[in-house]
């Protein structure tokens, strides 16, 4: 399956914050939306300036204590963001996420942010595909055709 098909089902909404948002506000947004990472953008989600995940927040608080909550996102985010395009295949994303050890991939089309895919989305699609394959094979074995 292609990413654009996944986005057609789950939608292209992406929660973003700006580089000067505080970590306290990021924590509140992660909680409010029930998500694990937020894309950082200073131009109203047009382009990606970075990504901040719950892992970055935990690391900052472990290193600097509660004072980290007052820091701006730009000091804590990952600026070198790996993205994918809508015509990428789910299998390619699985390899990318495994190789880089992260769980979120912003989807960019012609330089513009058009969605985000999490490892949960990828696993859901793969489990569905494998179940369908299994059902087809089962029918083939039972019916002999």
Residues that bind ligand AMP (CB under 6 A): 36-37, 51-56, 78, 81-82, 102-105
Cβ 110 to ligand AMP shortest distance, Å: 18
Nearer to ligand AMP, 88 or 102 (CB): 102
Nearer to ligand AMP, 18 or 78 (CB): 78
Cβ 18 to ligand AMP shortest distance, Å: 16
Cβ 63 to ligand AMP shortest distance, Å: 13
Nearer to ligand AMP, 90 or 105 (CB): 105
> Do the Cβ atoms of 39 and 105 come closer than 8 Å?
no
Nearer to ligand AMP, 55 or 126 (CB): 55
Closest CA to 104 of 14, 5, 43, 8: 14
Cβ 100 to ligand AMP shortest distance, Å: 7
- Residue with the CB atom nearest ligand AMP in the bound state: 53
């Amino acid at each position: 399956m292609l990413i654009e098909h996944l986005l057609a089902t789950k939608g292209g909404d992406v929660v973003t914050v700006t580089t000067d948002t505080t970590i306290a506000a990021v924590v509140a947004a992660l909680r409010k939306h029930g998500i694990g990472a937020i894309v950082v953008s200073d131009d109203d989600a047009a382009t990606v300036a970075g990504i901040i995940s719950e892992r970055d927040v935990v690391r900052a608080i472990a290193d600097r204590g509660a004072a980290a909550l007052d820091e701006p996102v730009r000091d804590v985010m990952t600026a070198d963001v790996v993205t994918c395009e809508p015509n990428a295949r789910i299998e390619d994303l699985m390899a990318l996420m495994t190789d880089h050890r992260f769980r979120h991939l912003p989807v960019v089309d012609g330089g513009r942010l058009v969605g985000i895919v999490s490892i949960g989305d990828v696993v859901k699609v793969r489990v569905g595909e494998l179940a369908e394959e299994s059902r087809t094979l089962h029918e083939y074995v039972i019916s002999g055709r």
